[in-house]
Amino acid sequence: MYTHFGIYADEVIKYIGEDEYKKSKHAVKNDIVMAVTSENVEDVCACTAWLGEDDIAVSGHTAIIHHDQNAKYLSYYFHTDHFFAQKKKLAHGTKVIEVTPDKLLDIEISLPSKVKQNEIVAVLDKFDSLNESMSEGIPAEIEARQKQYEYYRDKLLSFKEKRKT
């Protein structure tokens, strides 16, 4: 899940058959889908806010968190160091790390008003967008500067031989 999605998702990337769908857990718009098992502490409790219009099937080893808050606010929160410190205390296992869904009830979450949550999400979305554009733009800029450097290097270091007359 966390390898495909970041803070939120609003599009399905894989479809399953109807029989399998009926046997699955389902998330609805604004639910938080959280992985409750992982191979390491860093990735356990990785989550995504589902913002798509349609209900989706969710595989096992996940918790679906229904709530009445701003879903992106919660998802951003679940990516913080404060949350990491709390989940680390709840995680158990050696080969497979798990945080049981009922233990998630012990997590403390700072919940400002929904108006404030919306403001915080707007700011974080802007930073996220800027970070994304920089992540895409910087490699392209580096490549362009490398080509420019090579062009001028070759120009400066190419000497035409003078002919003797």
pLDDT tens profile 62-108? 999 999 999 999 999 999 999 999 999 999 998 999 999 899 989 99
CA–CA separation, 23 vs 63, rounded Å?
A: 16
Residue 117 clears pLDDT 70, i.e. is over it: yes
Q: Architecture of domain 1-109 in CATH?
A: Alpha-Beta Complex (3.90)
Distance (Å) of CA 75 to CA 93, 100, 104, 121, 162:
24, 18, 14, 10, 69
CA–CA separation, 61 vs 141, rounded Å?
A: 41
What pLDDT is attached to residue 163?
64
CA–CA separation, 50 vs 56, rounded Å?
A: 9
Q: CA nearest 113: which of 56, 66, 73, 153?
A: 73
Let me know: does 34 contact 62? Beta carbons within 8 Å. yes
CA–CA separation, 131 vs 125, rounded Å?
A: 10
pLDDT in tens, 2-60: 556 789 999 988 889 999 999 999 999 999 999 999 999 999 999 999 999 999 999 88
The two tokens of residue 126 are 């802007």
What pLDDT is attached to residue 122?
95
